[in-house]
C-alpha cells in the first residue's frame, strides 16, 4: 500500500478538481471558499506535497484549463490556518517559490488561530458570503478538539462540504484500554456512551463511527468514509460530509477511482450463475444487493433509489448493475409512473432524473 499521507492527498486532489470543475460551470456560484484548518507546513518530511500545495495546484490547473476551453472561471478564496506561525510561514514561502498563486485566482490568507476558536469564525464566513460554496478540510494533529457538533454547524449553512481525517487506529486502540477523556468526550458528543457498540477490529471502529455520524446528522446530510491502510491491520480514515447530494456523488466517484487503482474496485457477480468453485450464495451477494433485497420490499421511485444508493456509499452505476442482475433473475418489477415507455435496462438512477423526473419509475421486489 502507498504511504497513508500520499493516499490522503490523492483523494483530496481528485475530489477538489472535480469540485472546482463543477462549480466553475455552475451559473449560480461566483466564488468558492476553501478552508484548511490544520494546514501544516505544506510539505511532508519525505518531500510529498501536503494539502495547501495540492489545493493551490488544483486551483491553478482548473482555472487555466477552463480559460483555455473558453469556459466560465471561478475565484477561489483560500484560508490556510495553523496555530503555529512557523508552519504557515513555510506554506507561504513554498507557494511563492512555486508561483502557485496570482490575485486573479482569488484571495489568499494565512491565519494562526486555535481550531476551536477558528471554527465559529469559519461558519460565519461561510454563511455571510453570497453566491458561494465552501470546502473545509480538517486534518487535526489529534482528535481531542474535534466534535461532531462542529461538523454539523458547518453543514447547517447548506453551503459547504467537509473532509475530516481521523487517526481511527489510535482511537480504536484506546477504546480497548479504558477510553481516555479525549475519546470519551468525542464519542459522547455523537452518541451516549452506553449506546456505543464494541469494536472488534479497526475496521469495526470505523464502521461504527460512520454509522454514529449518520445517525447523529440524519438523512438531511450525507456521510461516507475512505479507509487508508498504513500497515497490516492499521487503518486510518477520511470522513466526508455534505448536505448536497451531487457533491456527495462526486466524492464517491473520487473514492472509487482510487479504490479501483488499488485493486479493490467494484465487481458484481450474479449469485445464481454457476461458478467453478461453487461458493455459497451468501458469500457472493454483495452489500448493495443485500441492501436492495430489503429496501425494495416497498415500492421505491428512481429518486429514492438514487439517494439510498449514495447513502450506502455506492455510485449510481453500481445500482444499475445490481438492478439489472435482479431483473435478470426476475426478482424485481419496474413500473412507469409517467405513462412513457421504459427502455429495457434503464432505471434513471442519476442526478438529472433525481432533480427533473424523480418519480419517473417505481421498482419493487416481486
274: in domain: no
CA 355 to chain CA mean position, Å: 21
Domain-located, residue 268: no
Q: Chain-wide mean pLDDT for the chain?
A: 88
Please tell me whether residues 243 and 342 are part of one structural domain: no
Decide which of 233, 261, 289 is a domain's last residue. 261
Regarding whether 228 and 190 lie in a shared domain, the answer is yes
272 part of a folded domain: no
- Provide the pLDDT for residue 232: 65
Query: Are 313 and 239 in a shared domain?
Result: no
Q: Which of 2-16, 264-278, 332-346 has the lowest mean pLDDT?
A: 264-278
If asked whether residues 227 and 352 sit together in one domain, one would say no
- Does 248 lie in the same domain as 185? yes
3-class state of residue 52 by DSSP: helix
The verdict on residue 271 lying in a domain is: no
Please say if the pLDDT value at position 275 is more than 50. no
Give the pLDDT confidence score for residue 216 in this predicted structure: 95
Structural domains in the chain (count): 2
Contacts of 254 (CB under 8 A, 6+ apart): 11, 14, 15, 18
Is 312 among the domain residues? yes
Lowest-confidence segment of 81-85, 138-142, 151-155 by average pLDDT: 138-142
Q: Are residues 218 and 304 in the same domain?
A: no
Any domain includes 316: yes
**pLDDT of 159 higher than 50:** yes
Do residues 346 and 218 share a domain? no
**How large is the average pLDDT for residues 298-320?**
95
Judge contact between 11 and 254, C-beta under 8 A.
yes
Mean pLDDT of 220-229: 88
Does residue 273 surpass a pLDDT of 50? no
Q: According to the model, what pLDDT value does residue 274 have?
A: 41
Residues 328 and 236 in one domain: no
Q: What is the mean pLDDT of residues 34-62?
A: 94
**Based on the domain organization, do 305 and 235 belong to the same domain?**
no
| Residue span of the structural domain in which 285 resides | 281-365
CA dihedral 35, 41, 44, 49 (to 10 degrees): 50
Residue 302 lies in a domain: yes
pLDDT at residue 4 is higher than 70: no
- Out of 128-142, 190-204, 350-364, pick the least confident: 190-204
Q: What is the pLDDT of residues 175-208, one digit of tens each?
A: 666 566 788 888 889 988 888 888 888 888 899 9
Same domain, yes or no: 48 and 148: yes
Between CA 216 and CA 263 the distance in angstroms is 33
The CATH number for 104's domain is 3.40.50.150
Q: Which residue has the higher pLDDT, 142 or 111?
A: 111
Q: How does residue 263 score in pLDDT terms, banded at 50, 70 and 90? A: very low
- Kindly state whether residues 250 and 290 are assigned to the same domain: no
User: Lowest-pLDDT range, 46-55, 245-254, 263-272, 324-333?
Assistant: 263-272
Residue 213: strand, helix, or coil: helix
Distance from C-alpha of 319 to C-alpha of 289, rounded to nearest angstrom:
8
In a domain, 275, yes or no: no
Give the span between the Cα atoms of 255 and 250, in whole angstroms.
9
- The pLDDT value given to residue 192: 87
pTM: 0.86
Residues 119 and 184 placed together within one structural domain of the fold: yes
Amino acid at each position: 500500500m502507498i504511504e497513508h499521507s500520499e493516499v490522503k492527498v490523492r483523494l483530496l486532489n481528485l475530489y477538489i478538481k472535480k469540485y472546482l470543475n463543477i462549480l466553475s460551470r455552475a451559473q449560480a456560484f461566483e466564488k468558492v471558499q476553501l478552508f484548511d484548518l490544520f494546514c501544516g507546513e505544506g510539505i511532508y518530511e519525505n518531500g510529498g506535497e501536503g494539502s495547501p500545495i495540492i489545493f493551490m495546484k488544483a486551483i491553478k490547473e482548473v482555472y487555466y484549463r477552463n480559460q483555455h476551453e473558453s469556459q466560465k472561471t471561478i475565484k477561489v478564496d483560500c484560508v490556510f490556518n495553523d496555530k503555529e506561525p512557523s508552519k504557515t510561514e513555510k506554506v507561504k514561502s513554498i507557494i511563492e517559490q512555486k508561483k502557485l498563486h496570482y490575485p486573479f485566482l482569488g484571495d489568499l490568507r494565512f491565519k494562526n488561530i486555535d481550531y476551536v476558536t477558528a471554527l465559529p469564525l469559519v461558519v460565519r464566513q461561510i454563511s455571510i458570503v453570497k453566491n458561494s460554496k465552501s470546502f473545509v478540510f480538517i486534518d487535526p494533529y489529534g482528535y481531542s478538539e474535534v466534535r461532531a457538533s462542529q461538523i454539523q454547524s458547518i453543514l447547517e449553512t447548506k453551503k459547504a462540504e467537509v473532509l475530516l481525517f481521523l487517526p481511527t487506529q489510535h482511537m480504536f486502540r484506546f477504546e480497548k484500554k479504558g477510553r481516555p477523556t479525549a475519546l470519551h468526550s468525542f464519542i459522547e458528543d455523537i452518541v451516549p456512551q452506553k449506546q456505543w457498540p464494541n469494536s472488534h477490529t479497526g475496521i469495526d471502529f470505523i464502521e461504527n463511527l460512520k454509522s454514529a455520524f449518520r445517525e447523529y446528522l440524519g438523512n438531511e446530510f450525507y456521510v461516507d468514509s475512505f479507509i487508508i491502510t498504513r500497515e497490516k491491520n492499521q487503518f486510518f480514515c477520511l470522513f466526508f460530509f455534505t448536505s448536497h447530494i451531487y457533491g456527495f456523488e462526486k466524492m464517491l466517484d473520487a473514492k472509487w477511482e482510487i479504490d479501483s487503482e488499488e485493486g479493490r474496485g467494484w465487481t458484481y457477480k450474479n449469485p445464481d450463475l454457476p461458478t467453478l468453485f461453487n461458493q455459497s450464495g451468501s458469500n457472493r451477494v454483495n452489500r448493495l444487493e443485500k441492501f436492495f433485497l430489503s429496501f425494495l420490499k416497498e415500492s421505491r421511485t428512481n429518486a429514492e433509489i438514487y439517494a439510498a444508493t449514495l447513502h450506502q456509499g455506492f455510485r449510481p452505476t453500481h445500482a444499475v448493475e445490481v438492478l439489472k442482475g435482479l431483473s435478470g433473475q426476475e426478482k424485481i418489477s419496474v413500473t412507469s409512473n409517467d405513462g412513457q415507455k421504459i427502455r429495457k435496462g434503464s432505471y434513471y438512477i442519476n442526478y438529472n432524473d433525481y432533480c427533473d423526473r424523480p418519480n419517473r419509475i417505481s421498482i419493487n421486489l416481486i
